[in-house]
């Protein structure tokens, strides 16, 4: 989506688009080890909740791209990278803790189901997002993602790890 937006709305060349995407990568690179260190001393569910809040903020800045222009898009991309750093650093560790605590047994099956749900989300998400965006407007589909993240924050933060 961001490649299309950068090409269509900002008339970015391929190299400028690659540079913009590298904002998320550099943010991820810098924040991941910090979050990994913090996760040793903080609740993993709280860190996943922070990830959801960062993603919701990212979607808000994405919807502001019309008025905020390039700065709003840059902040959106950086917040998305930060969100991915938070969730990437702790989600699997949280899932392993939950498997242990609930005596679910097999880690392989838990991680397989997690990967299957990721894949299903990557299939269904764009279909639903496109349908919502075509019916209600270009930013509404992404706004729904942000709203969903905010709705999940209280549930996720109550998970004890």
Q: Which residues contact 48 (CB under 8 A, 6 or more apart)?
A: 86, 87, 90, 91, 94, 156, 159
- Residue 42 CB-density burial (10 A; 0-12 exposed, 13-18 middle, 19+ buried): middle
Q: What is the DSSP letter of 139?
A: T
Q: What does the pLDDT profile of the chain (161 residues) look like in tens digits?
A: 566 766 777 777 778 778 888 999 999 999 999 998 998 898 899 999 999 999 999 988 888 877 777 788 889 899 999 999 999 888 888 888 888 776 766 778 888 888 899 899 889 988 888 888 888 877 787 888 889 999 999 999 888 76
């Amino acid at each position: 989506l961001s490649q299309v937006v950068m090409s269509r709305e900002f008339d970015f060349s391929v190299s400028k688009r690659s540079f913009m995407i590298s904002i998320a990568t550099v943010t991820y690179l810098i924040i991941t080890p910090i979050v990994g260190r913090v996760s040793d001393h903080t609740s993993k569910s709280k860190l996943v909740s922070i990830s959801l809040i960062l993603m919701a903020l990212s979607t808000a800045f994405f919807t502001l791209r019309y008025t905020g222009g390039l700065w709003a898009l840059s902040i959106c991309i950086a917040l998305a990278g930060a969100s991915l750093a938070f969730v990437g650093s702790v989600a699997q560790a949280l899932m392993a803790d939950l498997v242990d605590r609930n005596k679910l047994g097999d880690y392989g099956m838990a991680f397989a189901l997690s990967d299957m749900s990721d894949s299903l989300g990557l299939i269904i998400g764009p279909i639903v997002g496109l349908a919502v965006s075509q019916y209600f407007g270009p930013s509404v589909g992404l706004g729904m993602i942000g709203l969903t993240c905010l709705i999940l924050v209280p549930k996720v933060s109550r998970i004890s790890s």
